Chains A and B, each alone.
Chain A
Amino acid sequence: MIEIRNVSKAYGAGKSRFLALDDVSVTIRENEFFTLLGPSGCGKTTLLRTIAGFVDPTDGSVSMNGEDLLKLPPHSRPVNTVFQSYALFPHLTVRQNIAFGLEMLGKPKAEITRTVDDMMALVQMTAMADRQTGQISGGQQQRVALARALAPKPKVLLLDEPLSALDFKLRKDMQIELKRLQTETGITFVFVTHDQEEALTMSDRVAVMKAGSIRQIGSPRDIYDRPAERFVADFIGDTNFIPVEVSQIAGTVAQIKLPSGKMIEARAVEGATGGASTLAVRPEHATLGIAQDALMAGTLKNIVYFGTDTHYHVDLDGADSFVVRAQNTPGNKLDFSVGDAVGITFPPQVGQVLRD
């Protein structure tokens, strides 16, 4: 539905030239909750603002259902934005804010009133209709910003880190709320965040960005379980990286040799090559046991208790360190203390051979 093709955006010139977007191509589908995830400065907001029309790309094309979006100024694009700061008009009431877009579109009065009422009901702000936007809480402002952007029934809703200003509890509630709204309205959401957990819980698909380019696109499960490269694996969740020898790759299955000399099957990401490579293993996918018969052996360096789980930091023989995460369920108490010789094991096809 939204086709972004080879979009680049450069700022400055000469030595100070900086590529905010570097040849980005992505297709965003109808009715999906699409998330742009990445650290600050990775270009995710620039990409969002390119769709909204506040950034003119240096190169490339952006189209929606075949129509060239770049030809249109922001006020002619059928997309609406929820701004990071909400950008509620301080001189207007809640109702006037929500009605603004409809008024600009020249909708008849009766329709505006009806739609605004619906929207306020949708975000549960009906009681606050005539308040000034300065008189409502952060969470309520967030809802008004949402309602305002949804009221003109855009084909696409762009959300620029809309939850970052909220406190933890409210953010959790709003995540569920946003997902509900997206499902109910059937509008495509393009959501920008640097919070990996937010991205994983809400999205249908996630694009992980770094330094102006998209590094991986996939479902949250894909991204988490099958990171394509070190950056993605590192940015989303915690990961152990082990230097390995890839002896053979057949499709998505690779035969690898661990530093300990043991051989095991692992999955290979598309584009992975033989020879020296990196294996990513999630801490909760590995188990801690006695050194004998384990895939890798080492010394227990530290035990950190986290409530729901416990982290065991192991110094592998050969200087690398490895973290194992074990759930603290009744009866699952590992009887090790710091300084013990321990072994680490994980099943075949759990580790992921990365691209770089």
Chain B
Amino acid sequence: MADVSEVPSARERAIVRNRWLLLTPALAILIFAASGPLLITLTYSFLTPGDYGGVEWKFSTDAWFNVILQRDIFDDTLMFADAHLSILWRSVKLSLMTTIGAIILGFPTAYFIATRPKAHRDFWMLLIIIPFWTNLLIRTFAVMELIRNEGTLNTLLMAVGIIDDPIQILYTETAIMIGMLYVYLPLMVLPLYASMERLDFSLVEAGYDLYATRFAVLRRIILPLVKPGLIAGSILVFVPSLGAYVTPRVMGGGKQLMLGNLIELQFGQGRNWPLGAALSITLLAIVMVALIFYVRAAGKEEVPHG
């Protein structure tokens, strides 16, 4: 006999119907202008590039092949595509350095805010949040103007007499890293602060009571307790750094490409849409791996507070 409770009542069916009705506009927009196009990109990565951009509808794995490999134009031997690999390596390297830089600057900052009197914390957080929500391009501009050869920094240093000729910072890897550190730093401070704010300082007191030094307390008590925030912050900085487009374009001046710029190139001058699609799916895959790593780590590190 059928269990009565398994048969949904008319009212429950109505609730389910309403739910999907309510979700329709959002899902339609997202499928049309976010998820759907990703599938098309995946499809394009298996097609043949057209002569003037676009694609020919002919199946080909060349694009994926070309992501890291290339054929010598003279003797047809396989070899690694040095240009792509060096850009890939630069993207990962600069993103990691940016993340480390953000920890070095962001950790003490989050700690500083978390140890202010409760009434003041919101003010300090607002100072972090404002840059976070202001135009990334403008903030990149601001740094660029500062470190340009004719910029404030070099002008100032020369005026004081420390240097005679301007230091070339702009259009170097360092410039890209400084720019990314500058624009993504708030993303490190926000989750770190969220962890630290919940930190129970009686645990710190207990540490000192048990003869720990300041450094030992930091390393053995504070750090483990705020680890979830640290992981979250690192992912939040690393992921957009890896996919950065604007900052390397402005700060690298087209000389120091990152993955984002390499992808763009395939749709501009390169005119190899399938390769661009394959590169962009590659970037997406790396990001997803990072996110999965984060979800796993965050699940494991969940420290019950209170």
Contact = CB atoms under 8 A, between A and B. Distances in A.
- Is A in direct contact with B (CB under 8 Å) within the complex? yes
Interface of A: 10, 13, 17, 56, 58-59, 73
B151 to A, nearest CB: 52
A6 to B, nearest CB: 12
B6 A13 contact: yes
B5 to A, nearest CB: 4
Contact of B9 (A10, A13, A56, A73): A56
B16 interface: no
Contacts, number: 13
A58 B4 CA distance: 7
Contacts of A56: 9, 11-12
A15 to B, nearest CB: 13
A13 B8 CA distance: 12
Contacts of B12: 56
Q: Which secondary structure characterizes the binding site on chain A?
A: loop
A51 B209 CA distance: 58
A62 to B, nearest CB: 14
Interface in B2-33: 3-6, 9, 11-12
Q: How large is the interface on B (under 10, 10 to 19, 20 to 34, 35 or more residues)?
A: under 10
Given A13-B3, A56-B9, 11 more contacts: A10-B5, A13-B5, A13-B6, A17-B5, A56-B11, A56-B12, A58-B4, A58-B5, A59-B4, A59-B5, A73-B11
B142 to A, nearest CB: 42
A212 to B, nearest CB: 14
Nearest to A10: B5
Contacts of A13: 3, 5-6
Contacts of B9: 56
A77 to B, nearest CB: 14
A58 B3 CA distance: 10
Most chain A CB within 10 A, of B3, B11, B12, is at B3
B77 to A, nearest CB: 62
B11 to A, nearest CB: 6
A9 to B, nearest CB: 9
A170 B4 CA distance: 45
A59 B5 CA distance: 8
Contacts of A10: 5
Contacts of B6: 13
B272 to A, nearest CB: 54
13 contacts: A10-B5, A13-B3, A13-B5, A13-B6, A17-B5, A56-B9, A56-B11, A56-B12, A58-B4, A58-B5, A59-B4, A59-B5, A73-B11
Interface string B254-284: 0000000000000000000000000000000
The 5 closest A-B pairs by CB, nearest first: A10-B5, A58-B5, A59-B4, A56-B9, A58-B4
Nearest to B8: A56
